[in-house]
Amino acid sequence: MRYLIGTNIKMYLGYRESLRWLADMNRDVPETDLADAALFPPMLSLVNGRDLISKRNISLGAQNVCWSHEGPYTGEISPLVLRELGIPYAELGHHERRLYFNETDRTVAKKISAALFCGLKTLVCVGEDADRRDSGAEEFARDQIQALLAGNSDAPPERLVVAYEPRWAIGVAEAAPPEHARRCCDAIRGKLVEIFGPENGREIRIIYGGSVKLEDAADMLEQKNINGLFIGRAALDTKNFAKVVEIAARQAEADQNGGGAARRPASKKPRAAKKPRL
Ligand code: 13P
């Protein structure tokens, strides 16, 4: 499986800064068949930003879309217009959209359907609040996957990505422990297999997001059902982001060679052996 390293840059950059950031990403991210990069810059920079991306493994996406492709919806962004612009991804259901803009599983599910209908790929965010952190996180993730994706069980797996982003781990100092992320991503994989069937359910990429830093990448990516990362603040530094893509490509290569951890730089602590991927 090709890994996916995404970044949601939220509203951290202005228009010109976003264009500079996209150009720097295109310069720094390594072009590889083993790992893709999906960049979600501020919305208005997508139009001109698209021309700054030339590497075949880098895609752009919108941080939100409307649940309809056309009609009387003042101020909304049509997924059809994104398609027209050649923007392949829509990020849907991010915690901040739920927290500040009242999105619910029901509205997010509608957005997923609209985006898929318009031919976009969807990156769907799930994850529990702090009160579920120590008990019931897996069940919460499974229930969210059911509510968000069961209505689109015929969607091609390459058009879906699930981002597991525990809400308590977003915008803080430390990412969730890899063991916690592993348990929840395993539960998500089980639910995806239930909804999409064994073959398609195993092809959908599951990525971890929430305060990821460069030094977290290798430990997270060696977990069997973590097929990439979704990065916020740490990706403002494009060289950092590019290094994470390199680490993902190394892990993908190790997987192809029969599983196991990718070789790390000598200064890093050794890791436990990794189970083969599903
Ligand atoms: P941070 O990496 O800044 O915590 O943001 C993560 C995130 O919300 C990605 O969608």
The 10s digit of each residue's pLDDT in 204-248 is: 999 999 999 999 999 999 999 999 999 999 999 999 999 999 999
Kindly state the tokens that stand for 206.
Answer: 């599951």
Out of 91, 94, 138, 180, which one is annotated catalytic?
A: 94
Is the pLDDT at 181 greater than 70? The verdict is yes
Is the pLDDT at 276 greater than 70? The verdict is no
Is the pLDDT at 96 greater than 50? The verdict is yes
Kindly state the tokens that stand for 87.
Answer: 């923007």
Alpha carbon of 103 to ligand 1 centroid (Å): 18
Q: Give the integer Cα–Cα distance in Å for 80 and 75.
A: 15
Query: How many CA atoms lie within 13 Å of 161's alpha carbon, on the beta-carbon side?
Result: 30
Out of 91, 103, 138, 165, which one is annotated catalytic?
A: 165
Asked whether the beta carbons of 25 and 14 are under 8 A apart, the reply is no
84 included as an active-site residue = no
* pLDDT of res. 278: 37
Q: What is the mean pLDDT of residues 244-267?
A: 82
Q: Give the integer Cα–Cα distance in Å for 96 and 275.
A: 34
- On whether the pTM is more than 0.75, the answer is yes
Amino acid symbol at 251: Q
pLDDT in tens, 116-144: 999 999 999 999 999 999 999 999 999 99
Kindly state the tokens that stand for 20.
Answer: 């500079």
Q: What is the CATH number of domain 3-256?
A: 3.20.20.70
* pLDDT of res. 275: 43
Report the nearest atom of ligand 1 relative to the CA of 212: 2
Give the residue from 97, 214, 118 showing the smallest Cα distance to 163: 97
Q: How confident is the model at residue 260 (pLDDT cuts 50, 70, 90)?
A: confident
Alpha carbon of 258 to ligand 1 centroid (Å): 31
Q: What is the mean pLDDT of residues 55-69?
A: 98
Give the residue from 166, 142, 150, 77 showing the smallest Cα distance to 115: 77
Nearest CA to ligand 1 atom 5: 232
Least confident of 146-160, 226-240, 262-276: 262-276
215 included as an active-site residue = no
Regarding the beta carbon of 230 and ligand 1, being less than 6 Å apart is answered yes
* Ligand 1 mutation target, pool 103, 123, 230, 240, most atoms within 8 A of CB: 230
* pLDDT of res. 264: 57
Residues linked to residue 126 through DSSP beta bridges, in sequence order: 164
Tell me the backbone φ, ψ of residue 222, rounded to 5 degrees: -85, -5
Nearest CA to ligand 1 atom 10: 8
Is the pLDDT at 269 greater than 60? The verdict is no
Asked whether the beta carbons of 230 and 8 are under 8 A apart, the reply is yes
* pLDDT of res. 263: 55
Q: How confident is the model at residue 258 (pLDDT cuts 50, 70, 90)?
A: confident
Report the nearest atom of ligand 1 relative to the CA of 95: 8
Mean residue pLDDT of the chain comes to: 94
Which residue reads 């991503």 in tokens?
A: 185
Q: Give the integer Cα–Cα distance in Å for 161 and 122.
A: 6
